[in-house]
Structure 1
Amino acid sequence: MQTHPLLLNQRVHVLYLDTTYCNPRYRFPSKEDVLSYVVRITKEFLRKQPRTLIVVGSYSIGKECVYLAIAKALGIKIFANASRRRILQSFGWDDISKNLSTDGKATCLHVLPMSSLRVERLDEHLKVYREQYGAVLAFRPTGWTYSEKIGEHLDLIKPIVKGKITIYGVPYSEHSSFTELREFVQFLRPDKIIPTVNISNAGSREKMQSCFREWLRR
């Protein structure tokens, strides 16, 4: 974004900032590192258990880069239900559109709602495809899985394993991390910053404004 021509040499008076993760504890690994980790875990798992169904959790929109990275790395299609396919096709994103499948039996990569990434629900999903697959490897990509203890050391992530189901929580989010927010603000140097998330109490708002002032002093 810092090289976008519309942002170069521009004076920004007011910046409305997505402050979902405007807290020093949320210093996520880079998105590229997380995607590489997900692809690596997937390949390693498939080498050991070729009859594995890969599941990626997603909201109505978001997390597309996670399952697209797996699809490209393995050369496979992405199965999603009709409702999600309509949403994805509306993006006009060729990489997604050309890799979608309408048949869950035609590919081992499925996208399910984030709420379905529980052992019981995944076990039910596996039963539908039990003739083809004997296990599920699922990824729950959300910033809320981030742990300061793990930080950027993704190999420290401990999956949930129960029977035939394995679930990895990976710190991936389309929302900017604390570090990304700081870099963006220091690049734009706006006259005023208006936070848009976590603004319900004065204490939270003041903590964020204190961060902004500190960033702009540098």
Structure 2
Amino acid sequence: MAQKVCGPQVQKNLFQAWGIEKPPREEAAQGAPVGARASSSSPSPSPSGAWPGRKRRWGGSDENGASRKPVACPFYKKIPGTPFTVDAFRYGAVEGCSAYFLSHFHCDHYGGLTKKWCRGPIYCTALTARLVKMLLSIDSAYVCPLELDTEYVIDGVKVTFLEANHCPGAALIHFRLSDGKTYLHTGDFRASKSMQLHPLLQTGRISLLYLDTTYCNPKYKFPPQEDVIDFVVRTAQRYLKKQPKTLIVVGAYSIGKENVYLAISQALEVPIYTDASRRRILHSFGWPDLSKRISSCNQSSPLHVLPLASLQHENLKKYLETLDQRFLAVLAFRPTGWTFSEAAGKELDLIKPSSRGRVTIYGVPYSEHSSFSELRDFLKFLRPQKVIPTVNVGNAANRDKMQAYFREWLKST
């Protein structure tokens, strides 16, 4: 293995340098496609071509001006029996960790990564790797992109990334140890029926599941994403029919919610305007249909993408005024599970917009995290031996309540 140092390395094989075992030629094979049923033998390894709102976990300085050490890495970010951690970049050099996994490129998961990173290899999907290098200026020598649905051997552990149905580049991480134990870390994910078709999840029982429990509460009842997108498109068409000079705005994080505004663009046959920073990110995805629709002219399209936090009436009123009367009204969509209406539940047509003057804002329950019922169905299908929640675990009452749900769901399987 090549020596790990701060700065560029001269190396012929990055995977070999970071300890990925290259299989013998006769055994090399592509990972099984999603939906294919696994054979009796394991696929051969193939080389590749936090919590929301959590504060930075550094201690700052004491009264003498000396830097305090970062807090210890939580147990639920360490994978037992391995030298691996998941989304654990803000805790300094984690003792015994030789490989750092990044589930996806959201700041509550990559927090702590800077261009000075030199603590070890970062394993992530190819799309996430591009974002890590482009936006955080991480030295390429430390970034190890792995393909989805392809098994790799890292430090003697078989590792496979699965589609997480969260944001672009997000992955579930499946670990199979030499003693036969299997662990699944969901990162952030939206459970779906298609996940149940993956051969790795159909064969063998998961020993330990690290579960995204963002919405592990029965009050969170989200419709399917496709239904929400259909509602958004129909609503946009209805408003444009009444007032053709309506500006459609979709709120989004730096990455995430792309399917919402892409569907509007396709239905209305209009380009998507957003700022230069987001355009750079979107082009990096390598999605041809999205890239060809992106516009740099805010006057050329009635569809704009703005930061989710900016979708307030006064902000949108001022934004409208900057467009030189090109548009006469604003229809904005705030697509997030946090804005769901419990009264409306799954009945999207019961959603009431917030209107003030020329600005109308819809909060729509388009979530990229699993609803309560989706978590239940996923656990009943997966039947893990043990579940560790990774979100909303700050107090014992929450943890106990979630564990009670898990016991109830698994009792009936």
The within-5 A match list for 1:34-113 is: 34-113=228-307
| Aligned-residue offset at 1:62 | 1.2
Deviations 1:36-70 (A, max 9, x none): 10001000000000001100001111111111111
| Aligned-residue offset at 1:25 | 0.5
Q: Distance in 2 between matches of 1:105 and 1:7?
A: 48
Q: Distance in 1 between matches of 2:304 and 2:236?
A: 13
Aligned to 1:138: 332
Summarize the Cα distance change of 1:95–1:179 in structure 2 as closer, same or farther, 3 Å threshold: farther
Can you give the 5+ residue segments of structure 1 that lack an aligned partner in the other structure? none
Runs of 4+ in 1 over 4 A off after TM superposition: none
| Aligned-residue offset at 1:92 | 2.2
The within-5 A match list for 1:1-218 is: 1-218=195-412
Q: Which has the higher contact order (CA 8 A, sep 6+)?
A: 1
SS in 1 for 2:299: coil
| Aligned-residue offset at 1:103 | 1.2
SS in 1 for 2:405: helix
Q: Distance in 1 between matches of 2:262 and 2:401?
A: 37
Over the aligned positions, Cα root-mean-square deviation in angstroms equals: 1.1
| Aligned-residue offset at 1:109 | 0.5
- TM-score normalised over the length of structure 2: 0.52
Q: Distance in 2 between matches of 1:91 and 1:77?
A: 17
Q: Distance in 1 between matches of 2:291 and 2:205?
A: 38
SS in 2 for 1:2: helix
Can you give the 5+ residue segments of structure 2 that lack an aligned partner in the other structure? 1-194
Deviations 1:126-147 (A, max 9, x none): 1121331111000011111112
Q: Distance in 1 between matches of 2:217 and 2:370?
A: 11
- TM-score normalised over the length of structure 1: 0.96
Aligned residues: 218
- Choose 1 or 2 for highest CA Rg: 2
Q: Distance in 2 between matches of 1:12 and 1:94?
A: 36
| Aligned-residue offset at 1:34 | 0.7
